Structure 1
Amino acid sequence: MNEELTYESAYTELQLIASEIENEEVSVDLLSEKVKRAAILIAFCQQKLRATESEVNNIIKQMEGGK
């Protein structure tokens, strides 16, 4: 289901789902499906942010060690 998913595309899709739910544009029949997809996107974004934070921290540590 991660068809070359990027943080930006996941975040954009998540915003769209949230907007549809807030504006009551989602039928009851599709609500469960939309919430499940939102949960997947949230988990993906959280993982991506954690990985990026870790990578940036490692780079900073390497830079500080080189002084």
Structure 2
Amino acid sequence: MPKASKTETSDAVQDLPATYEAALSELEQLVAQLESGQMPLDQLLTGYQRGASLLGFCRDKLKAVEDQIKVLDNGQLKPWTGA
């Protein structure tokens, strides 16, 4: 049984989207493919690895924004009281 090459695996981790929105959109599409059961078995691992990379990217972006908000609010993240 052929294994995913190191290049395929590293490609799944590299080339992350430029924006949070693009990463989230790609992640949502990937999750839909994985959940549909229609993805070929040999692509499942690569898809999972790509999804994990996208999830980490999104979490990092959200954390960076949260940290910036804390700075703007004098070190405290306050609860949202939006309308």
TM-score when normalising by structure 1: 0.83
Aligned to 2:26: 13
| Distance change (3 Å), C-alpha of 1:3 and 1:31 | closer
Q: Aligned to 1:49, which of 34, 39, 62? A: 62
Q: In structure 2, do the counterparts of structure 1 residues 4 and 13 end up closer, same or farther at CA, with 3 Å as the change threshold?
A: closer
What are structure 1's unaligned runs of at least 5 residues? 63-67
Say which structure, 1 or 2, has more relative contact order (CA 8 Å, 6+ apart): 1
Q: Label 1:45 to 1:25 Cα distance change in 2 as closer, same or farther (>3 A).
A: same
Q: In percent, how many aligned pairs have the same letter?
A: 29
Is the 8 Å Cα contact of residues 16 and 54 (structure 2) preserved in structure 1? no
Runs of 4 or more off by more than 3 Å in structure 1? none
2:73 is paired with a residue whose SS is helix
> Is the aligned partner of 1:61 residue 2:74?
yes
What displacement does 1:2 show?
Answer: 3.9
Structure 2 residue runs without a partner (length 5+): 1-13, 76-83
Compared CA separation, residues 45 and 57, structure 1 to 2 (3 A): same
Alignment partners' CA distance in 2, 1:3 and 1:45: 10
TM-score by length of 2: 0.68
- Taking a change above 3 Å as real, the CA distance of residues 18 and 3 of structure 1, as seen in their structure-2 partners, is closer
